[in-house]
Chains A and B, each alone.
Chain A
Amino acid sequence: MLRFLLQRGAQALIAAFGVVTLVFFIQRLTGDPTALMLPETATQADIEAMRATLGLDRPLWAQYVGFLGDMASFDLGRSFVQNASVWEIISSRIPRTLQLAAGALGVALLIGLPLGLLMALTAGRTISRWIMGLVLACQSMPTFWSGIMMILVFGVWLRWLPSSGTGTFAHLVMPSIALGLLSLATYARITRSAVVDELGKDYVRSARARGVGPGRLVRKHLMRNSLIPIISITALEISQLLAGAVIVETVFAWPGLGLLTVQSIAARDFVVVQAVVLLGAFVTIAANLAADILYSIVDPRVRLAGQ
């Protein structure tokens, strides 16, 4: 296990290095942030002075070496636009992103898994087709539309839930559902497919022949053996959710990392974008590593590389 973790840790460092290097150079090809920070009346001299203040007047290689030095000392730098440390800005967004990701994942798992199971157990029947239609509808609805519709119905007309913002559990409900609908559909379809595969296997027939009831069959046998693809999908979903849900965060004014990323890209706030991308790379790598470890827990036949 230790050797496996060391190998994956080294791979993670190389991947993160590659990602931030790409982001560093690509961003600087896209334009000069000082143009957005100064009034229209700014002269070329004003622009040059601001570039010098931000260190953007240095050669690109010098900026890159400085950036690597900062990374090596865990210094994420200072935002060009917000005049605050990047860590301070990002750390204020991480709890909000975790809340929204957990809410969306909860919606997806708590509704998607039972729906998928139900579709598998009723395969070929009308109810299964109805549920599949519902799942497809969840997957097809654009988030910007479903979000606004929810706001109109539950926020403006019924006034059951706050229309936007953050701070209470009620604020979390609509964004979680809007974001979770897409994942819900994915879970339902993957679960259905995995359980249908398992239903045709010998051990299920044997269990039924031994008189194992449907509830116990699902809990003790079917679900456990169907978990591998669900875990794989969960790793992908978590990394996507934590990387930020731009549209949902924009519609519900939810101050997560996705919204921060988009705003920072628009403002050419290079250092913030670099830090968020770095964080996203680590989250993706960590989620996939966790999935690998969970495979071996769920199915002891799976061995981690190096064991």
Chain B
Amino acid sequence: MKYNLKGMLTGAALAVFATPLFTTTAMAGGITIDLAGEPATMDPHKQWNPTSYYVYRNIFDNILTRDNDGQIMGQIATSWNQASDSTLELTIREGVTFHDGEALEPSDVVFSVKRITNPDFGSPQLGQFNKIVDASADGNVVTLTTDGPYPALMAQLVKLSIVPEHVVEAVGDDAFNAAPVGSGAYAFSEWDRGVSVTLTRNDNYWGDKGPFDTAVFRAVPDEATRVADLQAGTADLVVSINSDAAAQLASDSAVIVLSAPTERVGYMGLNLDKPPFNNKEMRRAASLAIDRLGITEGLLQAGEIPMAQMASPAHFGYNPDVPAFEYNLDAAKAITAANPDLAATPATLATAPVFDQRIVQALQQMLNDAGFNISISMTDMPTYLGIVRSDPAENSELSFGRWSCACQDADGIAYPVLHSASNWSRVNVPELDAFLETARASLDTEVRQAAYNEVHQMVRDNYYTLPLYQAAVLYGATAGLAFEPTANESMFLNRMTMSK
């Protein structure tokens, strides 16, 4: 028996390398964006991650949106009226069509609300909308009913995308996820799994039309590769770069670095039920030992801002009058020297790889320099989440985290971190709970702001948790691209322009 090895190898090679020989470049008038990963899903009701919403928010319109300054404005709803403490009436924009040519009706808004709030549907976003107990349409007005006063409702509706009932009902959830139909400025074109998602401009869009014929969102997990793509001219915009990469790009005149403070707040959680941080003086010593400015300007260098409250200027409920925390290592050492047994108590700082370990190590060093006995406990993210959500007795003494509610309302950050009923909170102070509940239950913005002012001052005075900084985000872009990063990390293509 003869074996034609050469023939077999040639056949195999032809079969495997059946790919085009030459590189294709982005089409003129298009934009290529490198993301850190692939969107998990294209169904806007089925996901919760920035990579997905970078893409799908261009395909779908939401009930409301925010402008680049963070102000809530209408999108599918043109106006709204708080008819009672628990009912919000939304007037639906007329003349909007989905990408398949069908009109967007108020019934589609009702369908979208009921879909995402249906527990059987299993949306990861259910917790953000489950205060809505009913939705109904009358003419072009949609009425949302909540289970009580819900002041953060408007902030949440900024994230509620409208899907076409007729398409979802006809094709089912799986097919809709694979080929979504929306009403946004860009229409879904192709999803090459693991590689890229391509969108095409919706020339019939009711609002500002996109400047690019096509937009390709690619999954490029390695930061150095995203930067190289930008410098090589194969990407026009790259996300999630750090200050080292930004410094590298600064010397390249063909690219620019863009940054913006976000609504994420970096903070150190303290276990108030365990020594040494069940002692207020020791908490004060920990705060005095942390050089927040050193962290933001020495380590991070992306435009982060030191914070002294569990909110940022991007949140409703931020109190600009809360004084900054003092950095005074000598004062911290004096406190630990006066409490040697407490200071020597071993304490664990819980963290996960997703967080910037430079900060975690700096915090450990700063606290140990002040006389504490801190060790770092690095675990994977699910384990970390299990630790910080556990009972205080099982919880670590310290944890580092960055909090975002994607709602730009202090309710989304202060309540879960500080209210005794939250599994994230290690604080149990009835007076603080009362202020948080007042702010959560009132539709009067002045009442809410006053309550949050009290919350932030109490946290500041008692060191219930140690806010560190308002996080910033860095993007790299080709020099001709005009793109204004926002606090909610949105990436609307129709708000960009390109000059080449």
Contact = CB atoms under 8 A, between A and B. Distances in A.
A183 to B, nearest CB: 16
A88 B179 CA distance: 14
A32 B17 contact: no
Interface stretch (A169-177, A188-196, A197-205): A169-177
B195 A43 contact: no
A164 B19 CA distance: 16
B126 A82 contact: no
A162 B120 CA distance: 45
B41 A250 contact: no
A290 interface: no
Interface string A65-99: 00000000000000001111100110011001011
B81 interface: no
Interface stretch (B88-96, B303-311, B380-388, B459-467): B380-388
B258 interface: no
A37 B382 contact: no
A82 B43 CA distance: 10
B46 A83 contact: yes
B21 A168 contact: yes
Contacts of A162: 23, 232, 234
Interface string B21-48: 1111000000000000110110100111
Interface residues of A, number: 63
Contacts of B13: 102, 106
Among A99, A161, A167, the one with the most B-chain Cβ atoms within 10 Å of its Cβ is A167
A155 B229 CA distance: 8
A251 B24 contact: no
Nearest to B21: A169
A46 interface: yes
B17 A99 contact: yes
Contact of B127 (A41, A96, A155, A253): A41
Among A162, A171, A253, the one with the most B-chain Cβ atoms within 10 Å of its Cβ is A253
A148 interface: yes
Nearest to B25: A162
Interface string A115-158: 00000000000000000000000000000000010011001100
B323 interface: no
Contacts of B383: 30-31
B381 A35 contact: yes
B382 A164 contact: no
A80 to B, nearest CB: 10
B195 A165 contact: yes
A222 to B, nearest CB: 16
A59 interface: no
Contact of A255 (B23, B194, B416): B194
Contact of A156 (B46, B177, B231): B231
A14 B214 CA distance: 50
Contacts of A49: 119, 122, 126
Contact of B221 (A32, A92, A98, A250): A250
A250 B382 contact: no
Nearest to A168: B20
B222 interface: yes
B405 interface: yes
Contacts of A33: 382
Contacts of B406: 39
Contacts of B128: 39, 41
A97 to B, nearest CB: 10
B122 A93 contact: no
Given A36-B382, A268-B382, A152 B228 contact: yes
Contacts of A38: 48, 124, 127
Interface string B176-204: 01100000000000001111100000000
B273 to A, nearest CB: 19
Contact of B43 (A44, A54, A83, A102): A83
B195 A255 contact: yes
Given A92-B193, A93-B194, A253-B221, A39 B48 contact: yes
A263 interface: yes
Contacts of A99: 16-17, 19
B365 interface: no
A102 B12 contact: yes
A297 B1 CA distance: 9
Given A31-B380, A43-B127, A253 B48 contact: no
Given A39-B406, A84-B177, A156-B231, A169 B19 contact: yes
Nearest to B216: A165
A122 B248 CA distance: 46
Q: Which 5 A-B pairs have the closest CB atoms?
A: A31-B382, A255-B194, A53-B122, A46-B127, A92-B193
30 contacts: A30-B382, A31-B380, A32-B382, A36-B381, A36-B385, A37-B48, A39-B48, A40-B404, A40-B416, A41-B128, A43-B422, A44-B389, A81-B40, A82-B41, A102-B16, A151-B228, A152-B228, A156-B228, A159-B232, A163-B232, A163-B234, A166-B195, A167-B195, A169-B22, A170-B23, A172-B19, A251-B224, A255-B193, A259-B194, A263-B37
Given A39-B124, A46-B127, A255-B38, 5 more contacts: A37-B124, A148-B228, A155-B229, A163-B232, A250-B222
